[in-house]
Structures are given as structure tokens and as C-alpha cells.
Chains A and B, each alone.
Chain A
């Protein structure tokens, strides 16, 4: 059964730092991997989607990489800002079913 793990569970950094969030998954048979952002009490916003054939995707200050063979993905956030404070969720889409989510990394960026 596919399992998704995110490390660390929580992270606090000062404004301006570059940071990396980690995601690992147990079964490499996936169609794609997605990173989402969730603000407290809100729904999820899709940040980046990486197809299984791709190595990375970039959007503004965000860069996500995928190493399917090792079952790992990273989300790199450059020059962090207080507005980046949120929970970041990683999810994989296995063959034949819907997205499976990790438990998330809660990020706090202080000014």
C-alpha cells in the first residue's frame, strides 16, 4: 500500500531564508506528484504538479523536484516570506486510484 511521509512535521525560519521540505513515498508506480498549500481552516491550493516523466517544476520562488526511482520529492522555497506560513502537503497519484496525501509540513516564517 502506498504511503507518503513528509519531513519535518513543523519548521520555523526567519524571513529571507531558503528552505527545503521533503516528501517520500513507498511505491514508485505513480502517475504524478503534487504539492499543495493549506492555510488554517481552509481548503487546499495546488502549487506544483510533476508528471512521473518529469524531474522538476518551477513556479516563482517555488521549485519541486521528483526522483521517482528513489521515491522522493523536495519542495524548495527561495527567500521565504511571512506570507509563506502555511501547511504544505505532498500527494502522489498511484496507478488506479486517487491522490494519497502525506500529513504535511507546517511552516512558520517570522519577520
Chain B
């Protein structure tokens, strides 16, 4: 089955540690996205990538980093510079680039990060 796989589903981190969330898709989609969701809030865009080796900052990129070395993979690193990292992180992909018309997003199941 085609889809998006996020891992781990749950992650606990001590303050000061960097952690990396994995996102893999086998949909042959060009674009991939990372969103953060806090309780009672909508999704906020962290980073997105339209093609391999290229990515753009979203509204809340500070304290996060990404890479896009392969079309299928878009890992997100939450660094120690992120002051409030406890949240639900969602990865998504789409067949078209964000600048085009059709852009149905497919989401992964999410990763819940808790800082102890």
C-alpha cells in the first residue's frame, strides 16, 4: 500500500537533546511538508520541500532543521534551540508543487514528542 510512514509514533526527549523524526513516502510525490499541532490549535507549517535538495522555511522554522537528500525521505530534526518542542508533528506529501493548482495532501499518522 502506498502511503506516508512517520516514526517513531511516540518520543521522549530530555531538555538539551536533539531528536530526529522520520518521514518516508512511497507515493512518488514531489512535495513534502512538516507541520506542528498543539492542543486546540490548527496546524502550523515548519518546513516544506518541493524537490530534492531544496526546502523552504514555514511560519515556525526556528529551532528546527530538515534535509531532502532523497525524494522519498524528509526527516525533521528538533534541536535544543527549540524552546517548546512538546507537540504533535505531522508529515505530509503532495504530487504537485505548492505553486500549482492541484495539491491534495496525504498525511502520515504523526509523531508525538514530549520533552521531560
Contacts and interface: CB of A to CB of B under 8 A. Distances in A.
Contacts, number: 71
A101 B107 contact: no
Contacts of B42: 4, 89, 101-104
A89 B109 CA distance: 16
Contact of B103 (A43, A93, A96, A100): A93
Nearest to B9: A41
Interface stretch (A11-19, A44-52, A62-70, A76-84): A44-52
B90 A43 contact: yes
Interface in A7-51: 31-32, 34, 36, 41-46, 49, 51
A33 to B, nearest CB: 11
Nearest to B3: A43
B58 interface: yes
Interface stretch (B60-68, B70-78, B94-102): B94-102
Interface residues of B, number: 31
Contact of B98 (A42, A91, A93, A103): A93
A59 interface: no
A32 B103 CA distance: 8
A32 B45 contact: no
Contacts of B44: 101
Interface in A80-100: 89, 91, 93, 95-100
A57 B101 CA distance: 16
Interface size grouping (class) on chain A: 20 to 34
The binding surface of chain A is classed by DSSP as strand
B82 interface: no
A32 B98 contact: no
B90 A103 contact: no
B105 A99 contact: yes
A89 B43 contact: yes
Smallest CB-CB A-B distances: 3 pairs? A101-B42, A43-B107, A103-B42
7 contacts: A31-B100, A43-B108, A44-B92, A96-B99, A97-B48, A98-B33, A99-B105
